[in-house]
Chain A
Amino acid sequence: DQQVKQNSPSLSVQEGRISILNCDYTNSMFDYFLWYKKYPAEGPTFLISISSIKDKNEDGRFTVFLNKSAKHLSLHIVPSQPGDSAVYFCAASPNLYGGATNKLIFGTGTLLAVQP
């Protein structure tokens, strides 16, 4: 049961344009969402996060949008740069009744290629 889904395995974008990566989730108990970037042979690097009480969070070139009714979030990168080429994972953390948790459920990742 894939609770966090990234339906696009890959995305190719021209340098300077906008990259939009999408993520859907099924569990309404998720209340904290994160995006990570991963290069081969390295661990995931945290990019940006959003709490379920917000619908948008911005950090420099990165903006995350959350649509709770659609159970959908997206990451916008503007402008895209060749150094952004990597695999991007979205992740969600559930709100467990009776206790907090740092458990993350990851999507399968989207390979972003930014062409010079």
Chain B
Amino acid sequence: KAGVTQTPRYLIKTRGQQVTLSCSPISGHRSVSWYQQTPGQGLQFLFEYFSETQRNKGNFPGRFSGRQFSNSRSEMNVSTLELGDSALYLCASSFTGAGNQPQHFGDGTRLSIL
């Protein structure tokens, strides 16, 4: 059974650019969440989607946005990139949105801002 797939694995951008990251959840999973991992802040919740609707959003500026498609695939977008956006961005999927089942993570997209 295929796991969560994130593309691309690595990305280098410059300040001011925008970027779109993609996540394909495990087949049958309808919930997708995004997290940012940095050495200083650890793993932080960005947002969560279930059935194409954003249900929760973390404490990030509006430059961070996302969406979910009808096939449960999700994208997140970061506009006007800043040096501090350099991080590992992780996507996780879960079968339901009930909050009582484990989420399974992809291997992430490593974003570097120059």
Interface of A toward B, CB cutoff 8 Å: 31-32, 34, 36, 41-46, 49, 51, 89, 91, 93-96, 99-109
Does B90 contact A101, Cβ atoms closer than 8 Å?
Answer: no
Does A44 contact B90, Cβ atoms closer than 8 Å?
Answer: yes
Q: Smallest CB-CB separation from A45: which chain B residue? A: B105
Number of cross-chain contacts by CB at 8 Å: 75
Residues of B within 8 A of A44 (CB): 43, 90, 105
Interface size on B, residues (CB 8 A): 28
A32 and B99 in contact, given A41-B107, A43-B107 (Cβ under 8 angstroms): yes
Residues of B within 8 A of A42 (CB): 107-108
Bound-state CA distance A94–B106 (Å) is 22
Task: Confirm or deny: B63 has a beta carbon within 8 angstroms of a beta carbon on chain A.
Answer: no
Does B105 contact A102, Cβ atoms closer than 8 Å?
Answer: no
Does B100 contact A32, Cβ atoms closer than 8 Å?
Answer: yes
Q: Smallest CB-CB separation from B99: which chain A residue? A: A100
Q: Smallest CB-CB separation from A100: which chain B residue? A: B99
Bound-state CA distance A100–B100 (Å) is 9
Residues of B within 8 A of A109 (CB): 42
A102 and B106 in contact, given A43-B4, A109-B42 (Cβ under 8 angstroms): no
